[in-house]
Amino acid sequence: MVRQRQVMTFLLVGIICAISACAFNSPNYEKLAEYLHSPEGFAQWQQMEGQLAKVAESAATEYNRTHTMEALRSYETAIREYLDHGFLLYHAFSDSPYDLPKGLRRSLERRTAELMDVADGYLKEHSIPIAVGIAREVILKYNAGVMDHPQHRAEGIMLEYRYRRN
């Protein structure tokens, strides 16, 4: 499982670098959006999307089976990679003339909700700072305009943590 994730991470980084080395240096993702809008670029993105979805599903299954901290950390890593991959397309297309693929926002909301499931797992393990960190990221980093449910869950964790601290 760890080796599979390392290979997937390597592939993801390689694809992103191959797509456009300068896309991340520009503030608007223009070249990346052009590539991802092309048939070959979108096909490559979809292929990686499918692979990351399988890894995330496998990690979720393993965590739900074992409920260990190691499995929870693996699940967190896998869901973050899957979520970041989706947000790569979202951010590239948001600032471009291209329409978002149908269902992308719903998919991002589902992935963000899974990341909040991970935060709940950390809370159950009494790892409050990790859960709060994830909640903070959901609020600040993973917001596609329709993330009401995951955002409210994140805000709830932040309020709970603040309440416990005071």
User: In the prediction, which pLDDT does 14 show?
Assistant: 47
User: In the prediction, which pLDDT does 76 show?
Assistant: 97
For 117-165, the pLDDT digits (tens) are 999 999 999 999 999 999 989 888 887 665 677 877 888 887 877 655 5
When comparing pLDDT for 58 and 25, which is higher?
A: 58
> Does 82 score more than 60 pLDDT?
yes
Banded model confidence at residue 13, pLDDT cuts 50, 70, 90: very low
User: In the prediction, which pLDDT does 23 show?
Assistant: 43
Is the separation of the CB atoms in 79 and 55 below 8 Å? no
Question: Which ranges constitute the DSSP H helices of the chain?
Answer: 2-19, 30-37, 39-66, 69-94, 104-124, 128-140, 148-165
Average pLDDT, stretch 34-38?
A: 93
